[in-house]
Chains A and B, each alone.
Chain A
Amino acid sequence: MSVALLGRGLAVAYGTRRVFAGLDVRVESGCLTALIGPNGAGKSSLLRVLAGVQAPASGVVERHARAALIATAQSLPPDVTPAQLAGYLVALRAPWWRLHRNVQERTAIVAALEQTGLSDRADDPAEHLSTGELQRAWIAAALATGAGALLIDEPTTHLDVRYQLEVLRVLRALARAGHAVLVAIHDLTLAARFADAVALLAGGVLEVGAPESVIAPQTLAPAFGVDVEIQRDAEGNIICTPR
């Protein structure tokens, strides 16, 4: 597995409040990583710093792949279609005098919409799309721009259980296809089920490991201040219940 994004000694502070400092992060290609942690621990800040949207107070980020950041519940103007969305974002990287997308760009957009299961909805305006389809439209747009690292803040927020599964399945498939995928997520059971690795950010410390080692009572209890019970379902998936 190759490294897509590498953060070294990252620190973020807002005014005098230090969120985290000296954080080392590796985001690997071909891997779906779930970023968990209590509210205010700095998950969104870490994603923003890794994407280059926010400058860290100190530290550096090496980007071996282009990163795209999708914020929480990102909306779309009602008339914009998934195909147009991808077209607009692809156009950012094209020379400004070329108003129409060329064959390669069109092929990339078509492929991205297919990978996210949006081919049938490609020309439907956002006002007719479900929340899950909107989320996938943003993912498709990121793919079409050739982003190798997808950083997604709470992709399952506001989604019902069916769309949550749908989005996470798409993201897992993208990781399998070689993308680096890092999602901030609150649902620990879903994180354990879909992620290849889990990163717990709490109290300014990042702990990374396999889902079963991080999603465990002895790590979660101090981080969230809540006791959890870990069970396995019939297929061996982790179920995490707070007590």
Chain B
Amino acid sequence: MIAFRAGSENATRTKVWWLFALGALALGSGVLSLAAGSVGLSPDSIVRVLVHPSASGLAHTLVWDIRVPRILIGACVGAGLGVAGAMLQAMFRNPLVDPYITGVSAGAALTATAAIALGASFVLVPAVAFAGGLACAAAVALFGSGDLPSGNLRLVLGGIALSSLCAAMVTIVLLRSGSTDALTILSWLAGGISGRSWSDFGWTLAYLAAGLLLTLPLLSSLNVLRLGVDAAAGFGLRVGRARLGVMAAAALIAAACVAVSGIVGFVGLMAPHGARKLVGGDAALLLPASALVGAAVVIVADAIARSILAPGELPLGVLLAFVGVPFFLIIARRPVSL
């Protein structure tokens, strides 16, 4: 972030203000979505519950034990996918890349599916999914590591290939499991954050924080990787190491998201584009902005997902696909800057 003329100092300041605005948006959508759900709560009862956190009663249980953790988890998932998507789009210099390109979702889906089919307790599923996602991402990263500049293409191809293999194996597991298991697996794969508790929020936040901490030292490398592999190497960046770092951080973040919410598509693709329009491509601004946009999108989408078919719920992943697919097609048609 450097500017030459006074005018551009103002431009930077405007971008920082956008960050505050996006933060307010995410916070606002979180508060508003407290009212959404199969049981209607009046605004004043929500306020009453919020100011007296130690009271008891139905409204209290609904707000503090169900909706608040759910909204916080939604915020984590959206923020995580937004950051991971922004990092990978900058690194690959490809606007159509999302966090799942790392093979995270496919690996997580496979191990989670296997765990459910083998009758593992539901508490274990996120942990197993996390391990599978990370293992798959590591395999993709190793496959794509090594020399410039073909590494980028190999990473993408490796991710796609490994994802297809995992998807095929998921199908085998689905076909061989009983109908109840198959339903459980399918609903997990469809993506959603219903029925999540404070403990889920705790470990999601822990993994997310670890991933974000890993991201901080990579900000300057990300800005240089965006200029291209040749340029980055020519100016002394150790490209292979930087790329591995970005992959690792993005995979850790994405794996935490997949583990808690299944496959929530398109947020990691859309959020960075929205954020880039507002704050530009500088990683120090783009990553936080993508996190806030992603959080707001998931919170709002989840609120819609749980109220549109009340008392039933639409899977979050399904709802996002309806918004995400048209968006994807629009960007695929238009030249997009990174």
Sort A-B residue pairs by CB-CB distance and give the 4 closest, nearest first. A69-B234, A87-B2, A122-B4, A91-B220
B-chain residues with CB within 8 Å of residue A75 when the two chains form the complex: 228
A-chain residues with CB within 8 Å of residue B216 when the two chains form the complex: 96-97
A-chain residues with CB within 8 Å of residue B220 when the two chains form the complex: 88, 91-92, 94, 96
A63-101 vs B, Cβ < 8 Å mask (1 yes, 0 no): 000101111001111111101111111011110110111
Instruction: Let me know if A106 and B1 touch, CB within 8 A.
Output: no
Total interface residues on A, CB under 8 Å, equals 46
B-chain residues with CB within 8 Å of residue A105 when the two chains form the complex: 2
Min C-beta distance of B220 to chain A, whole Å: 4
Q: Does B219 contact A (CB under 8 A)?
A: yes
Min C-beta distance of A138 to chain B, whole Å: 8
Min C-beta distance of A143 to chain B, whole Å: 12
Min C-beta distance of A160 to chain B, whole Å: 23
B-chain residues with CB within 8 Å of residue A141 when the two chains form the complex: 235
B-chain residues with CB within 8 Å of residue A212 when the two chains form the complex: none
Measured CB to CB, the nearest residue on chain A to B2 is A87
- Interchain CA distance A145-B236 in the complex, whole Å: 10
Instruction: Let me know if A84 and B233 touch, CB within 8 A.
Output: no
Contact of B4 among A110, A127, A138 (CB under 8 A): A110
Among listed B180-188, B278-286, B305-313, interface-contacting one: B278-286
B219-261 vs A, Cβ < 8 Å mask (1 yes, 0 no): 1110110111011011111000000000000000000000000
Measured CB to CB, the nearest residue on chain A to B232 is A92
Given contacts A93-B236, A122-B5, list 12 more A-B pairs with CB under 8 A: A66-B236, A74-B230, A78-B337, A81-B4, A83-B4, A85-B227, A88-B220, A92-B220, A101-B2, A105-B2, A122-B4, A123-B4
How many residue pairs bridge A and B at CB < 8 Å?
Answer: 98
B-chain residues with CB within 8 Å of residue A93 when the two chains form the complex: 236
Q: Does A49 contact B (CB under 8 A)?
A: no
Instruction: Let me know if B1 and A99 touch, CB within 8 A.
Output: yes
Please report A residues at the B interface, Cβ cutoff 8 Å.
51-53, 66, 68-71, 74-81, 83-89, 91-94, 96-97, 99-101, 105-106, 109-110, 113, 119, 122-123, 127, 138, 141-142, 145, 151
A-chain residues with CB within 8 Å of residue B226 when the two chains form the complex: 77
Tell which of A66, A69, A113 has the most Cβ of chain B within 10 Å.
A69
- Interchain CA distance A51-B216 in the complex, whole Å: 28
Q: Does B7 contact A (CB under 8 A)?
A: yes
Contacts A71-B230, A96-B219, A122-B4 known; A145 to B282 CB distance under 8 Å? no
- Interchain CA distance A127-B226 in the complex, whole Å: 15
Contact of B2 among A68, A86, A142, A145 (CB under 8 A): A86
Tell which of B148, B220, B233, B284 has the most Cβ of chain A within 10 Å.
B220
Instruction: Let me know if A92 and B227 touch, CB within 8 A.
Output: no
Contact of A100 among B1, B233, B337 (CB under 8 A): B1
Tell which of B3, B216, B236 has the most Cβ of chain A within 10 Å.
B236
B-chain residues with CB within 8 Å of residue A83 when the two chains form the complex: 2-4, 8
Residues of B287-338 contacting chain A, CB below 8 A: 337-338
Contact of A142 among B148, B217, B235, B282 (CB under 8 A): B235
Measured CB to CB, the nearest residue on chain A to B230 is A71
Instruction: Let me know if A145 and B219 touch, CB within 8 A.
Output: no
Min C-beta distance of B215 to chain A, whole Å: 10
25 inter-chain pairs at a CB distance below 8 angstroms, sorted by A residue, are: A51-B234, A68-B234, A68-B235, A74-B230, A75-B228, A77-B281, A80-B227, A83-B3, A84-B1, A84-B282, A86-B2, A87-B2, A89-B224, A91-B220, A93-B236, A96-B218, A96-B219, A99-B1, A101-B2, A113-B4, A119-B4, A123-B8, A138-B231, A145-B235, A145-B236
B-chain residues with CB within 8 Å of residue A81 when the two chains form the complex: 4, 8
- Interchain CA distance A151-B236 in the complex, whole Å: 13
Contact of B236 among A88, A92, A106, A127 (CB under 8 A): A92
